[in-house]
Copies of this chain bind each other. A is one copy, B any other.
Amino acid sequence: MEKLKNKIRIIGPNCIGTFVPNELDMLFLDRKKLKRPSEGSIGFITHSGAVGSALLDMASNEGVGISKFASIGNRIDVDEVDLLEYLGKDVETRCIVLYLESTERGSELINVAKKIKKPIIALKAGKTEKGGEAVVSHTGALAGSGNIYSTAFRQAGIIETNNIEDIFDCAKALSTQPVLKGKKIAILTNGGGLGIITTDLAIDNGLEIAELSKETSKALKKVLPSYASPNNPVDITGDADTARYEKAIEILMKDKEIDGVICITLFQTPTLEDDIIEVLKDSKMYGKPFIVCATGGEYTFERAKKLERFGVPVYSTPQRAVKAMRCLLDYGKVLKR
C-alpha cells in the first residue's frame, strides 16, 4: 500500500490516477467529446484506457457516480491487486468494478477480494481463444484460460459479467440497495405487457415470482380498481396515479414473503404526475431491494435521472432491471459465506 500513496495522483495513459470530478484533466481526452461522471460511490479499475474512458462517458450520461478511477494499462508498477486492496479500504467506495485482461497474481487477487466487505463486479476480457490472442497483442500479457478466471471469481465472491452494460447496471443496484435475501420478488406495473415480459425474464434469470398471500391480495383488492390485477405481477393499470402506486408499494414491501420489488413505472401515462418521484424514493424506508424499470424516451429519462440522485436505481428495460435484481441475490449469497 505504501507505493500507492505516492502514485495515486499521477495521471496519464498507462499510469494510475484517481479521478476527481472537475479537478483533474484525466488522460489526454477532450472534455467536449468525453464527459466526466459525477462524484459517487463506485470505484473503477481498468486494464484498458479505451474501455475505461468510454465507460466513464457512458456513466456521465446515465448519472452513475464514480468515487475513484484507475486506468493501469501495462501495469509497470501498481497492479489490479494493489488497487483492489486500496479501494477495499477507501471510505468513498461502496462497490468496486474491475475490467481485467489478465493477472499475474491470481491467488493474491482471490485472497484480497475475499477480505473485502464490498461488492466487486468483474469483466474478464479474452476468455475465448481468439479473445485471449487479442489480449496478447493488446498488452503483451497472457490471458489465461477463461474458465480458470470464472472459477477464481466464484471462489473470491466476485460477481462476473461479460457485458459492459451490466457493469454499471449491477454497480448501481449494489451501491444503493440492500441484498436480496431470498428469490421471491413482486412485480408492480402500470403496463400489463411489461409486467408479463418482466415475469418471464425474472424466472429465466433464476428469480421467483412470489405467490401472494390471501392477506396481501385482499389488501391490494381494497386499494385497486376492479379491473386491476391483485396477483403477482400486480398490474395497477395505465390509469394508476401516485396514490395508487404508494398504497401498492406499501402493501408489497411490508409483506414478509416478498424479498424485493421491481416497480415498472411508465412515467408517460397521463395520470402520473411528478409526485411519483417522491413516492418511489421513499421506498428506501422498507429496507428491501426496490428497483425501478422505466422504458421510454426523453421525458422518462429525465425522471429516471432525478430518481437516481435519491439512490433509487432505474433501468430502461425489464432485462436490465431483472439482471440488477439478480446481482443483489448473488451478492447476498456471497455475504452469507
Q: How far is the CB of A72 from chain B (nearest CB, A)?
A: 12
Taken together as a complex, chains A and B put the C-alpha atoms of A33 and B53 apart, in Å, by 32
Contact B61 A298 (CB under 8 A): yes
Cα–Cα, bound, A193→B57 (Å): 16
List 10 extra interface pairs beyond A134-B195, A134-B199, A137-B231, CB under 8 A.
A29-B270, A50-B191, A50-B266, A51-B193, A58-B297, A125-B196, A128-B204, A137-B192, A138-B195, A163-B201
Of the stretches A75-83, A250-258, A277-285, A316-324, the one at the interface is A316-324
CB of A99 within 8 A of CB of B193, answer: yes
Q: CA of A203 to CA of B50 in the docked complex: distance in angstroms?
A: 22
In the complex, the count of this chain's copies comes to 2
Residue ID in chain B nearest A229 by CB atoms: B137
B30, B127, B268, B316: the one contacting A268 at CB < 8 Å is B30
Bound together, the chains give a CA A127 to CA B196 distance in angstroms of 9
Assess whether A125 is in contact with B235, with CB atoms less than 8 Å apart: no
- Please indicate the chain B residues that have their CB under 8 angstroms from the CB of A18 in the complex: none
Residues of chain B lying within 8 A (CB to CB) of residue A146: 200
Question: Is A164 an interface position by the 8 A CB rule?
Answer: yes
Q: Which of A164, A193, A203, A268: most chain B Cβ within 10 A?
A: A193
Which residues of A from 298 to 331 have beta carbons under 8 Å from B? 298-301, 316-320
Nearest-CB distance from A214 to chain B (Å)? 17
Interface residue ranges, A against B (CB under 8 Å): 28-30, 32-35, 46-51, 53-55, 57-58, 60-61, 99, 101, 123, 125-128, 130-131, 133-135, 137-139, 146, 162-165, 190-197, 199-201, 203-204, 209, 229, 231-233, 235, 238, 266-270, 295-301, 316-320
A268 touches B299 (CB 8 A): no
Given A164-B317, A193-B48, A193-B51, is A270 in contact with B28 using a C-beta cutoff of 8 Å?
Answer: yes
Q: In the complex, which residues of chain B have a beta carbon less than 8 angstroms from the beta carbon of A48?
A: 191-194, 196
Structural contact, A54 and B266, CB atoms closer than 8 A: yes
Is the pair B231, A133 in contact by a Cβ cutoff of 8 Å?
Answer: yes
Q: A144 to nearest B CB, angstroms?
A: 13
Check A196–B126 contact: CB distance below 8 A. Answer: yes
A203 to B133 CA separation, bound complex (whole angstroms): 13
CB contact under 8 A between A58 and B137, given known A51-B194, A126-B200, A192-B50: no
Residue in chain B with minimal CB distance to A127: B200
Given the complex, which residues of B lie within 8 Å of A191, measured CB to CB? 48, 50-51, 54
CB-CB nearest 7 A-B residue pairs = A48-B193, A50-B191, A61-B297, A51-B193, A138-B192, A57-B296, A57-B297
Docked-complex contact B35 and A298, CB < 8 angstroms: yes
Do A131 and B200 contact each other (CB < 8 Å), given the known contacts A33-B268, A49-B238, A317-B165? Answer: yes
Beta-carbon nearest neighbor of A62 in chain B: B297
Which residues in B have their C-beta under 8 angstroms from that of A232?
Answer: 130
Which of B29, B46, B165, B231 contacts A134 (CB under 8 A)?
A: B231
B164:A32 contact, CB within 8 angstroms: no
Closest to A53 in B: B268
CB neighbours of A297 from chain B (8 A): 34-35, 57-58, 60-61
